[in-house]
Structure 1
Amino acid sequence: MTTSLQELLAGWITGQRWFAGKGRAIDDLSVGALTELGQGDPRLVHAIVSVRQGERTTRYQLPIGLRTHLPDRLKHVLIGSCDWDGRPVWAYDAAHDASLTSQLLTGMDGELRVQRLRFRKAPGATIDTSQRSLVLTAEQSNTSLVYGDKYILKLFRQLTPGLNPELEVISALSAAASAHVARPYGWIETVLDGEPTTLAIMQEYLPNAGEGWTMALTSVRDLYATAAGLPAEDAGGDFAAEAHRLGVATAEVHRELAAAFPTGTIEPPEIKRMTERFRRRLEKAIAEVPPLAAHADVACAAFDRLADLDEQIPVQRVHGDYHLGQVMRTTADWVVLDFEGEPGQPLAERRALDSPLRDVAGMLRSFDYAARHLLAGHPRADSLEQRAREWAERNRAAFLAGYSEAGGRIRGRDAVLLRALELAKAVYEVVYEARNRPSWVSIPLAAFG
């Protein structure tokens, strides 16, 4: 008896790194939409499946390849054998088949429409359809394809009905000629629950750019390798000048976002409600990670000072999940990536107005992580702690200086909000590390010192 594609997917999907429901049984998997993109052998089929686990149902996007004969190079992404059009075929993850993913380029270039799938090309874009794709393997929640040295296409595996914030932001900033976003070339969309929904976004690929996190870690390693007592500014690979430039770029992006989207303010009553949310999260975090209790007074004092503010706080569109892994250094400047917002949050929350200092706080926490995460398990961790603190303080100060000099607002009572946001972020990090990397819990706990 031939296994159906639906049955194959139910057994295969739980093993994928982007599957969000690991560790829980699947109660039901249904194929909600199945769209053939062309005929022949091999054949590309676009699927949207719904997975029910308990009370939660999650939809996923699956590009599926179908072949009569499966070459060895694709056996590592095999889903299984099933019946299609009355004959047995091999089904596999088509993201890894460059002979099929080329159809995504030609679809965008020709603005193809197939059933409810719509391929879109960015205004003024020219797409080179001869480029072949390669899958990036580092991602957890999405799948990205690099086409030659020109484009990177991000496929959103987990789908939420609505316009993805990243497409909205990069389109607006690119139209405003921002120097800090990679140019959009096209996207793929469908309709879910009556709403136009983003399935994939293609942007300019930056092959010679350096990732901020990697550059920062190189600087930290250089510092740790230098003689004791040598100041951070005299060690090879000092990052402070780049941190300053990143602060400037961040302020410029915030200014561009404020010009492209609506802005507003939050009043003191809402500020108090925000601090109450911070306190509740702190209480829950302490219940889960008891060592955090020793630092609760520091966090509560910062939240109390925020609650006492009696003035408005400006809010606008922000990045929402800002850290060193979200920025790339090209030969010209810093480029900001991944304007999706915090993963797992509803689209409405990711698109909501917020203080730009939320992004600043995220980057400050990222500097602390860069300085200290190499100490986990390091044989000289105790002796290097002071060096880690020195590196973090130097680069945090350089970033804030660049941000302020470029017009980013950190003055007067803004420092109160920034401190509260940073500690609220650290509370979240403590819980995350306790669940996923217990040996790293000391990194966010250091924020309360």
Structure 2
Amino acid sequence: MSEAVTSTVTPPSALLASLEPLLREWLPRQRWFAGKGRPVTGFTLVAATELLPAPLEQGGTSLTKLGLYHLLVRAHQPLVPSHGASDHPGDCYQLLIGVREALPPRLAPALIGHVTQGPLAGRTVYEALHDPRPAELLLEALRTQARIGGLRFERDRHQEIRAGLVPRLMTAEQSNSSVVYGDTFILKLMRRVVPGVNPDLELPLALAREGCPRVPPPTAWMVADVDGSAAATGSVDFAGEPYVLGVLQPFVQGAADGWELALRELAKGQDFAAEARALGRATAEVHTALARALPTVTLGHAQLEQTVGGMIERLDAAVQAVPALRPYAPGLRSAFTALGDLAAEGRTWTAQRIHGDLHLGQCLRSPAGEWRLIDFEGEPARPLAERRMPQPALKDVAGMLRSFDYAARSVDPPQPDWARTCRAAYCSGYAEAAGHDPRTDPVLLRAYETDKAIYEVVYEARHRPDWLPVPLAAVHRLASADLT
């Protein structure tokens, strides 16, 4: 870490002014940018740290070849009117900006642009995670528990991090970015960040303390301590709360992504029931460990009334947005009112910390056949406080049941019998490990699956209209209470 400095040499305001014209064009094109469809009207710099000084010249000779800046920037965009939405200052993004005099051909895909103004004028800036040197610097900072400006790099001292592991950027990410180091570790860098306790670090740490082998234990993590006034300008951020920026975990070498594995088996006409049953057991083991590690609560009438009200509000908004839902609205509403009726009769449910966004793509099967769950940040679009609230474990189960259905209906011709077999096997496997079968609580399960299917309809109508028949098939089933 001898090349790193602990303060920003380039004035932050000048740095942002130098980069802003390029970021306006580049940022909305990134897959992890959440505000697509709305123009970026400006930026606020939340924090800036110079990790490597920008290239300097003396007597026509370049003294340094690579500069590196870590930025937290808030992108301002016009609001989209929505029910009950309050003013939002814009999402905060984590950027790692490389600076060179010229970009070598191997880094051409990482180009952000050529700076024409400010302190970086005449230089080329790029997405630094494509470059091995910045990625190596991050791992070394985690290994040595460095502090660089407002950045803190922390680690579990019981796990060894070897120096010199070769990095490679994974290209299949969506809402975040990941770098694999020598097939030993994977560093997940959050792109859209908020202050506060991030469940993607909190829950795996809790599961590691419980000795749960179904989730890779955090090895190290990266945090930003941001001045409260800078973080909260025009926003509702919590002053003084750190930002969790990244988590380093063991890399499951040779693991198969659950979604890709399911599609391969479908394409070959192979049965997936044994895998689904094993995945159900793994899910139950994680839920059981989370219930031991963190507090649980009892949901009664008042809490369920609020939950049901939110489901009905989302249904009403979805019907307005997607007319194809209108014929099904009464049946879908009955899934929610039936849950409210049970709560009114005095039925209660246990709520606990859960995964929050469970589907086949959040599961890895090791070469030995063991399933592991990853990505515990929950639904990124939801507020952090909501993502950290205890919820019934059946919400995760419903998400996985929807995922089997998606896989079966993404092939031509659709394979609904494959989905039914997998759904049943998954619930049976869950029951083996948890001691209770999710299907014995059909009203709660139907409500959560219906809520998820409605979300899917709106998403597909907006982003992938060709996929709309997939969730609509589930809507047809759920509206008629045919839960097979």
**Please, what TM-score do these two structures have when normalized by structure 1?**
0.90
Distance 1:436 1:79 in 2: 26
Q: Which residue of 1 aligns with 2:449?
A: 422
Output the CA distance in 1 between the equivalents of 2:418 and 2:466: 21
Q: Which whole-Å CA distance do the structure 2 matches of 1:195 and 1:411 have between them?
A: 37
Most deviating of 207-216 and 335-344 = 207-216
2:363 maps to 1:327 = yes
Do the aligned residues in 2 keep the contact of 1:327 with 1:334 (CA within 8 Å)? yes
Q: How does 1:229-240 map to 2 (within 5 A)?
A: 237-240=270-273
1:412 deviates by 8.1
Greater mean alpha carbon deviation, residues 394-403 or residues 137-146:
137-146
Matching residue of 1:190: 224
User: Which of residues 264, 287, 292 is equivalent to 1:218?
Assistant: 264
* Aligned residue number for residue 442 of structure 1: 469
1:302-341 aligned within 5 A: 302-309=335-342, 310-330=346-366, 331-341=368-378
Number of residue equivalences: 425
Q: Which residue of 2 aligns with 1:234?
A: none
Aligned counterparts, 1:30-41, within 5 A: 30-39=44-53, 40-41=64-65
Give the structure 2 partner of residue 68 of structure 1.
Answer: 101
Gap regions ≥5 residues in structure 1: 224-236, 376-380
Where do residues 117-156 of structure 1 align in structure 2 (5 Å cutoff)? 117-156=151-190
Q: Which residue number in structure 2 is paired with residue 274 of structure 1?
A: 307
Name the SS for the 2:188 alignment partner. Answer: strand
- Of 4, 7, 21, which aligns to 1:7? 21
Match status 1:354 vs 2:360: no
Give identity over the alignment, percent: 44
Give 1:413 deviation, angstroms: 6.0
Are 2:141 and 1:107 equivalent residues in the alignment?
Answer: yes
Per-residue CA deviation, residues 198-234 of structure 1 (Å, 9 max, x unaligned), is 01111111121111111111222222xxxxxxxxxxx
Q: Report if aligned partners of 1:43, 1:100 keep a CA contact under 8 Å in 2.
A: no
3-state SS in 1 of match to 2:410:
helix
CA distance in 1, matches of 2:46, 2:89: 16
Which among 345, 353, 358 is matched to residue 382 of structure 2? Answer: 345
- Deviation (angstroms), 1:243: 0.5
Aligned-partner Cα distance in 1 for 2:334–2:145:
55
Q: Report the secondary structure of 2:65's partner residue.
A: coil
CA distance in 1, matches of 2:302, 2:197: 31
Amino acid in the other structure paired with 1:196: P
Distance 2:89 2:445 in 1: 35
Hey, what does 2:429 align to over in structure 1? Answer: 402
Q: CA deviation digits over 1:309-360, x for unaligned, max 9?
A: 1211100000000000000111151100000001211111111100000000
Deviation at 1:87, TM superposition (A): 7.4
| SS state at 2:90 partner | strand
In the TM superposition, residue 297 of structure 1 has moved relative to its aligned partner by 3.2
Q: Does the aligned pair in 2 maintain the 1:6–1:30 contact within 8 Å?
A: no
The residue aligned with 1:298 is 331
Out of 116, 126, 137, the residue aligned to residue 150 of structure 2 is 116
Whole-angstrom CA distance in 2 between matches of 1:418 and 1:171: 28
- Distance apart, 1:408 and its partner CA: 5.0
Distance in 2, Cα, partners of 1:260 & 1:174: 10
Q: CA RMSD in A?
A: 2.0
Q: 1:85 offset after TM fit, Å?
A: 6.3
Does the CA contact (< 8 Å) of 1:251 and 1:408 recur in 2? no
Q: Which amino acid aligns with 1:434?
A: A
1:270 is matched by which residue type in structure 2? Q
**Separation in 2 of the partners of 1:411 and 1:43?**
54
Tell me the CA shift for residue 86 of structure 1.
7.7
Query: 3-state SS of the aligned residue for 1:184?
Result: coil
Q: Distance in 2 between matches of 1:282 and 1:84?
A: 49
Higher mean C-alpha deviation, range 412-421 or range 154-163: 412-421
| Aligned counterparts of 1:339 and 1:17: Cα–Cα separation in 2 | 20
Trace 1:357-396 onto structure 2 (pairs within 5 A): 357-375=394-412, 381=413, 385=414, 388-396=415-423
In structure 2, the partner of 1:28 is: 42
Q: Summarize the Cα distance change of 1:204–1:119 in structure 2 as closer, same or farther, 3 Å threshold.
A: same
| 1:203 and 2:230 are equivalent in the alignment | no
Q: What does residue 85 of structure 2 align with?
A: none
Name whichever of 337-346 and 29-38 sits farther off.
29-38
Q: Which moved more, 1:242-251 or 1:168-177?
A: 168-177
Q: Distance in 1 between matches of 2:417 and 2:424?
A: 11
Task: Please give the alpha-carbon distance, in whole angstroms, between the structure 1 residues aligned to 2:302 and 2:44.
Answer: 45
What letter corresponds to residue 353 of structure 2 in structure 1?
Answer: R
Matched AA of 1:282:
L
TM-score norm. by structure 2 comes to 0.84
Separation in 1, partners of 2:438, 2:112: 56
For residue 126 of structure 2, the aligned residue among 89, 92, 96 is 92
CA contact (8 A) 2:438 2:445 kept: no
- 1:69 shift after superposition: 3.3
